[in-house]
């Protein structure tokens, strides 16, 4: 249960996007909310499964293979150079990030950036705050919007950032970032078939309660620190000294994204 909830809500890619498109506060609160919601759901589910857990513990307690087996005693296998291992793992990690990971998120990321651009260009400033409102009204609206539809964590990040820049509160945006990736009609239907109605209720309950609680906390934290996200999130440096590096970085990212989409498209055609 904890894995099913926390996995879609956060990941290395979504945390990095949250840090770059929002701020360090949201980059910390988002994974913490995902962790807490998953942990709460797991603990509640375990509470209702005490008898099964007890029987499993008894079987483990009577396991005859309790003593660890030592396959190497006295003789240590020589290890290769430590720095060579680090360099090899670093290279393998970069290859994975620029191939497999980027191919998985490229399509959703481009779609999210496109929709965020549409919102930034066409939606008037503070229109969302005027029409949706703030506080519990905005929380419930974003919750109702997020529960039935599927938005992956990568897609939801630029969209949420664009909505905040147009007047949405950070707490309401957090609900969209948490509830959107973890809940949709297909996921809830599958869970109801694989698990049971009680597990499905626990799943939704943990997500909704934690999203609302951390939404209140997020808005309170921003007000306590006297931060205005509409200003702080959009303070991309406009200095001439950083304009060229930003353009070059954007061009490199666009090239890698285009390559990833092209490779993914070729793989689908080959199938």
pLDDT tens-digit readout, 129-140? 677 767 888 899
Of 39-48, 106-115, 139-148, 222-231, minimum mean pLDDT range: 106-115
Domain count, the chain: 2
* Residue that wins the pLDDT comparison between 217 and 90: 217
Structural domain includes residue 66: no
C-alpha 24/C-alpha 232 separation (Å) is 11
Measured from the Cβ of residue 58, the count of other Cβ atoms closer than 10 Å reads 9
Q: Kindly state whether residues 202 and 173 are assigned to the same domain.
A: yes
Q: Kindly state whether residues 187 and 261 are assigned to the same domain.
A: no
Q: Kindly state whether residues 153 and 22 are assigned to the same domain.
A: yes
Judged against a pLDDT cut of 90, whether residue 50 lies above it is answered with no
Judged against a pLDDT cut of 90, whether residue 40 lies above it is answered with yes
Q: Kindly state whether residues 246 and 229 are assigned to the same domain.
A: no
Nearest to 18 by CA among 8, 29, 7: 29
Q: Kindly state whether residues 163 and 204 are assigned to the same domain.
A: yes
Question: Mean pLDDT, to the nearest integer, of 123-152?
Answer: 79
* Residue that wins the pLDDT comparison between 13 and 68: 13
Write down the mean pLDDT value for the chain. 77
Structural domain includes residue 221: yes
Q: Kindly state whether residues 158 and 195 are assigned to the same domain.
A: yes
Structural domain includes residue 154: yes
Range of 157's domain?
A: 1-48+98-235
Q: Kindly state whether residues 141 and 221 are assigned to the same domain.
A: yes
Q: Tens digits of per-residue pLDDT, 205-219? A: 999 999 999 999 999
Measured from the Cβ of residue 101, the count of other Cβ atoms closer than 10 Å reads 16
Percentage of residues of the chain with pLDDT beyond 90: 17
Percentage of residues of the chain with pLDDT beyond 70: 77
Q: Kindly state whether residues 162 and 252 are assigned to the same domain.
A: no
Task: Please report the pLDDT score of residue 236 as a whole number.
Answer: 44
Q: Kindly state whether residues 143 and 177 are assigned to the same domain.
A: yes
């Amino acid at each position: 249960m904890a894995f099913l909830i926390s996995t879609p809500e956060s990941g290395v890619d979504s945390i990095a996007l949250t840090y770059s498109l929002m701020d360090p506060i949201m980059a910390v609160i988002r994974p913490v909310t995902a962790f807490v919601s998953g942990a709460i759901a797991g603990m509640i589910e375990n509470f209702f499964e005490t008898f099964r857990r007890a029987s499993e513990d008894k079987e483990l307690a009577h396991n005859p293979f309790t003593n660890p087996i030592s396959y190497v005693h006295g003789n240590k296998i020589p290890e290769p150079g430590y720095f060579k291992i680090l360099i090899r793992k670093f290279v393998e990690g970069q290859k994975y990030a620029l191939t497999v990971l980027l191919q998985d998120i490229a399509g959703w990321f481009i779609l999210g950036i496109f929709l965020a651009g549409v919102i930034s260009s066409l939606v008037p400033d503070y229109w969302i705050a005027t029409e949706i409102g703030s506080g519990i009204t905005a929380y419930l609206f974003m919750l109702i919007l997020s529960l039935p539809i599927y938005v992956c964590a990568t897609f939801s990040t630029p969209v949420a950032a664009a909505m905040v820049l147009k007047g949405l509160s950070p707490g309401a945006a957090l609900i969209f970032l948490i509830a959107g990736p973890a809940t949709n009609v297909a996921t809830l239907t599958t869970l109801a078939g694989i698990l049971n109605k009680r597990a499905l209720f626990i799943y939704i309950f943990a997500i909704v309660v934690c999203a609302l609680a951390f939404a209140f906390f997020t808005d309170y934290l921003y007000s306590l620190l006297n931060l205005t996200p509409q200003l702080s999130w959009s303070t991309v440096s406009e200095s001439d000294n950083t304009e060229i590096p930003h353009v070059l970085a954007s061009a490199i990212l666009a090239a890698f994204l285009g390559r990833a989409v092209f490779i993914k498209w070729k793989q689908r055609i080959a199938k």
